[in-house]
Amino acid sequence: MPYIKLSHQIEKLHNPQRSDAFVKQVRAAVREGDFDAGDLPERFTLPKSFSKRGGGERYSRSVRDMVIDATWR
């Protein structure tokens, strides 16, 4: 059964600034049963850079990686 990692799918995004929205959509789809996936213990850093209001400081966010069943229908 082929599996893909969420972190590998994030690398393929054309617009990295949408990576946080993509992660939210994937997690929602798993909760709703659209496909099977499981959390992995490792984390990865999103390619999107975030900024704090008023300060102009930039930071990155890390999220827990997932393994997704690529054959589930």
**For residue 55, what is the DSSP state?**
T
The pTM assigned to this predicted structure is 0.81
Tokens of 69: 């069943």
Rounded to the nearest 5 degrees, what angle is found at the Cα of 15, between the Cα atoms of 32 and 52?
A: 85
Segment holding 12, helix H or strand E: none
Dig out the tokens for 38 from the structure.
Answer: 């499981």
Tens digit of each residue's pLDDT (9 = 90 or more) over 21-63: 999 999 999 999 988 999 999 999 998 888 777 777 888 889 9
- Is the sign of the CA dihedral 67, 69, 70, 73 positive or negative? negative
Report the alpha-carbon angle 17-61-50, nearest 5: 50
